[in-house]
């Protein structure tokens, strides 16, 4: 049940925000505070958060180890922009260079995942002198001009006048055919694991098979780690598990643990070709950089990569056991604590978005917040803060099992 206050806020939201902004649940709670893996609504009810604001709060909500350092920076120096010399941004770039895979070394800081991908694509065009891109059929890269054009999922392509400098391809054969016929490709852009497409997780050799084709034609690989980055998948970046190093990597979300920050990073050689003036007014401001430095410290001090790997294995095992019991779970996939369970209508095998919504709502009523994604909006997304524990997984699985049993007895059509 939503409270009177929650209903009032929802009405005002509908009146004053844009109608394009969707929300989950028919009876949404009004969240008023949070602490690590828990959210609280206006009645004081506690919810176990298994979505982390879409893979953002990897280090937990309102984590004192991070917010105390952000607050200290806010009281010291907040903003100047990049025409002045400040230290936090330099410290962060240096620190990132140490954790980025391969020889990725130079970074440009901005404020959102869309802006990081837009910048990465601009860099690819400038560095190669070529214009076009290959993107994935079910990728999602943002809401700006280039990034929306690079987004394959139909529901996120809102602009009716998107430019057509893009090919969409998934397989090695499709990519090879495009590279053979068109010499004007600047870059191939792909998420490592496609989050919005329903945690679509490539085969272990996927990027290894494509990388030599790109290298042969001088086409850059832009790896979008906006959703997979910062320990989420059991390594600092998911691409480390695929045996290749991208030419450009983009990141955002968990880098700031709730404080807006994003970046694209590349090799010194590619960075050296980006000499035309560029800037981001708020990009690399001391407060965002203090947050990111605290995040990197927290991930390393608490070994969140190992924690995500260990708990991810446990969660995946438990979900696979539920798959054996409940026909509606068709697939369980993912890495670390980025796991999807794809739901189909029992007996038909067709995507089951109504069932997904039913489960989300029922779990919310039981105090658990899950995510939802997939091209057909039928994938339950498990992307909690990485600070959860065994008992949280147990609580989730017990409740999910009960809700799945309950929905199986509902009338057909659900
Ligand atoms: C993989 C990926 N790239 C880019 C973006 C866009 O990021 P932002 O919403 O910060 O602009 C998203 C957002 O969900 C994403 O999941």
Model confidence pLDDT, tens digit, residues 351-373: 999 999 999 999 999 999 999 99
Residue 44 C-alpha to ligand 1 middle, in angstroms?
Answer: 31
In the predicted structure, residue 413 carries a pLDDT above the cut 60: no
Nearest atom in ligand 1 to the alpha carbon of residue 228 is 1
The answer to whether position 18 is within a domain reads yes
Calpha distance 189→246 (Å, rounded): 10
* DSSP H or E segment with residue 371: strand 371-373
Residues 117 and 54 in one domain: no
Pocket of ligand 1 contains residue 112 by CB under 6 Å: yes
Amino acid 157: pLDDT: 97
Mean pLDDT, residues 195-209: 98
pLDDT band at 410 (very low <50, low <70, confident <90, very high): low
Q: Residue 315's closest CA among 389, 369, 230, 204?
A: 389
Q: Of ligand 1's atoms, which has the minimum distance to the CA of residue 139?
A: 1
Ligand 1 atom closest to the Cα of residue 117 is 4
What pLDDT is stored for residue 22 in this prediction?
93
Query: What confidence tier does 1 reach under pLDDT thresholds 50, 70, 90?
Result: low
Check residue 411 and give its pLDDT.
Answer: 57
Last residue of a domain, one of 279, 301, 323: 301
pLDDT tens digits, residue range 178-192? 999 999 999 999 999
Q: Does ligand 1 have an atom closer than 6 angstroms to the CB of 227?
A: yes
Q: Is residue 29 part of a domain?
A: yes
Ligand 1 pocket test: pick from 141, 193, 198, 239 the residue with the most ligand atoms within 8 Å of its Cβ. Answer: 141
Residue 345 to residue 330: CA distance in whole angstroms: 9
Distance CA 364, CA 27 (A): 9
Residue 413 is assigned to a structural domain of this protein:
no
Largest distance between two CA atoms of the chain = 65
407 CA distance to ligand 1 centroid (A)?
32
Q: Cα–Cα distance between 315 and 111 in angstroms, integer?
A: 32
Within 10 Å of residue 184's Cβ, how many Cβ atoms?
10
Q: In the block, which residue shows the tokens 């917010």? A: 67
Separation of alpha carbons 37 and 385, rounded Å: 6
CA-to-CA distance for 175 and 114, rounded, in angstroms?
24
Q: Do 51 and 192 lie in a common domain?
A: no
Ligand 1 atom closest to residue 112's alpha carbon, by position in its atom list: 10
Torsion, Cα of 19, 24, 29, 35 (10° steps): -110
* Residue 223, H or E segment: strand 220-224
Residues 382 and 288 in one domain: no
Residue nearest to atom 16 of ligand 1 (CA): 227
For residues 296 and 328, membership in a common domain is answered with no
For the Cβ of 225 lying below 6 angstroms from any atom of ligand 1, the answer is no
Residues 91 and 122 in one domain: yes
State whether 318 and 262 are in the same domain.
no
Find the angle CA(307)-CA(311)-CA(317) to the nearest 5 degrees: 155
- Regarding whether 374 and 241 lie in a shared domain, the answer is no
Q: What mean pLDDT is predicted for residues 220-245?
A: 98
Q: What is the 116 CA–ligand 1 centroid distance (Å)?
A: 9
pLDDT reported for residue 2:
85
Q: What is the CATH number of the domain that holds 260?
A: 3.40.640.10
For 134-149, what is each residue's pLDDT tens digit? 999 999 999 999 999 9
Of 233, 211, 205, 235, the closest CA to residue 223 belongs to 211
Of 268, 301, 334, the residue that ends a domain is 301
Contact, 225 vs 242, CB < 8 A?
Answer: no
pLDDT in tens, 312-349: 999 999 999 999 999 999 999 999 999 999 999 988 99
- Alpha-carbon torsion (207, 211, 212, 214), positive or negative: positive
337 part of a folded domain:
yes
Give the residue whose CA is nearest to atom 4 of ligand 1: 141
Cα 318 to ligand 1 centre (Å): 29
Q: With a 6 A CB cut-off, is 213 part of the ligand 1 pocket?
A: no
> Which residue minimizes the CA distance to atom 3 of ligand 1?
141
How many angstroms is it from 293 CA to the middle of ligand 1? 21
Distance CA 55, CA 371 (A): 10
Examine residue 414 and state whether it is found in any structural domain, yes or no.
Answer: no
Regarding whether 272 and 157 lie in a shared domain, the answer is yes
Ligand 1 mean position, distance from CA 140 (Å): 7
Which residue has 């990132």 as its token pair? 96
Q: Could you tell me the strand order of the sheet in which 104-110 lies?
A: 104-110, 262-267, 248-251, 220-224, 185-191, 132-135, 166-168
Q: How far is the CA of 171 from the centre of ligand 1 (A)?
A: 23
Give the domain CATH number at 10. 3.90.1150.10
pLDDT band at residue 414 using 50, 70 and 90 as cut-offs = low
* 355 ligand 1 Cβ < 6 A: no
Q: Are both 120 and 102 inside the same structural domain?
A: yes
pLDDT tens column, 106-125: 999 999 999 999 999 999 99
Say whether both 294 and 313 belong to one domain. Answer: no
My answer on whether 297 and 161 are in the same domain is: yes
Confidence of residue 412 (pLDDT cuts 50, 70, 90): low
Domain assignment present for 45? yes
Ligand 1 contacts CB of residue 351 (under 6 A)? no
- Assess if residue 376 is contained within a domain: yes
- The response to whether residue 54 sits with its C-beta less than 6 Å from ligand 1 reads yes
Q: Candidates 121, 158, 223, 227: which one to mutate for ligand 1, based on the most atoms within 8 Å of Cβ?
A: 227
Confidence of residue 408 (pLDDT cuts 50, 70, 90): confident
158 and 31 fall within a common domain: no
- The pLDDT of 162-173, averaged and rounded, is 97
Q: Is the CB of 252 under 6 A from ligand 1?
A: yes
If you measure from the C-alpha of residue 193 to the centroid of ligand 1, how many angstroms do you get, rounded to a whole number? 13
Mutate to test the pocket of ligand 1, among 58, 142, 260 (most ligand atoms within 8 A of CB): 142
| Structural domain of 54 | 4-59+303-408
Phi/psi-derived region of residue 412, left when phi > 0, alpha when psi is between -120 and 50, beta in every other case = beta
Domain count, the chain: 2
Q: 73 with 65: CB under 8 angstroms?
A: no
Tokens coding 271: 């960075």
- Which of 261, 282, 301 terminates a domain? The answer is 301
Judging by DSSP bridges, how do beta strands 338-343 and 379-382 pair with one another? antiparallel
**CA 238, 239, 242 angle in degrees (round to 5)?**
115
pLDDT at 172: 98
Bridge partners for 49 per DSSP: 369
Q: What distance in angstroms lies between residue 21's CA and the mean position of ligand 1's atoms?
A: 15
Q: For residue 9, which of 36, 31, 35 has the smallest C-alpha distance?
A: 31
């Amino acid at each position: 049940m939503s409270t009177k206050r929650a209903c009032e806020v929802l009405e005002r939201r509908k009146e004053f925000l844009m109608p394009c902004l969707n929300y989950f649940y028919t009876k949404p709670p009004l969240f008023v505070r949070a602490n690590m893996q828990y959210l609280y609504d206006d009645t004081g009810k506690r919810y176990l958060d298994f979505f982390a604001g879409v893979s953002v709060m990897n280090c937990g909500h309102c984590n004192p180890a991070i917010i105390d350092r952000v607050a200290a920076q806010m009281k010291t120096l907040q903003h100047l922009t990049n025409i002045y010399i400040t230290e936090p941004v330099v410290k962060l770039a240096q620190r990132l260079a140490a954790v980025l895979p391969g020889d990725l070394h130079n970074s440009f800081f901005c404020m959102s995942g869309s802006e990081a991908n837009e910048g990465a694509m601009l860099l690819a065009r400038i560095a190669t002198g070529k214009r076009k891109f290959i993107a994935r059929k079910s990728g999602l890269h943002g809401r700006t001009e280039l990034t929306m054009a690079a987004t394959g999922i139909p529901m996120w392509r809102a602009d009716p006048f998107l430019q057509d400098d893009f090919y969409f391809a998934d397989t090695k054969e499709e990519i090879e055919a495009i590279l053979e016929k068109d010499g004007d490709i600047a870059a191939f852009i792909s998420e490592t694991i496609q989050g919005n497409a329903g945690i679509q997780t490539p085969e272990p050799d996927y990027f290894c098979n494509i990388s030599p084709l790109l290298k042969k034609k001088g086409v850059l690989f832009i790896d979008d780690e906006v959703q997979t980055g910062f320990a989420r998948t059991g390594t600092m970046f998911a691409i480390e598990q695929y045996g290749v190093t991208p030419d450009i990597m983009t990141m955002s979300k968990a880098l700031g643990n709730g404080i807006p920050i994003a970046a694209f990073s590349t090799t010194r050689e590619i960075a050296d070709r980006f000499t035309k003036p560029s800037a981001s007014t708020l990009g690399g401001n001391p407060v965002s950089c203090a947050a990111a430095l605290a995040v990197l410290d927290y991930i390393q001090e608490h070994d969140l990569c190992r924690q995500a790997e260990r708990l991810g294995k446990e969660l995946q095992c438990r979900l696979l056991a539920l798959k054996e019991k409940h026909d509606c779970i068709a697939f369980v996939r993912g890495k670390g604590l980025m796991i999807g369970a794809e739901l189909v209508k029992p007996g038909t095998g067709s995507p089951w978005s109504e069932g997904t919504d039913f489960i989300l709502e029922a779990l919310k009523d039981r105090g658990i917040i899950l995510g939802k994604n997939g091209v057909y909006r039928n994938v339950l997304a498990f992307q909690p803060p990485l600070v959860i524990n065994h008992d949280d997984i147990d609580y989730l699985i017990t409740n999910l099992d009960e809700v799945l049993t309950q929905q199986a007895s509902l009338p057909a059509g659900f």
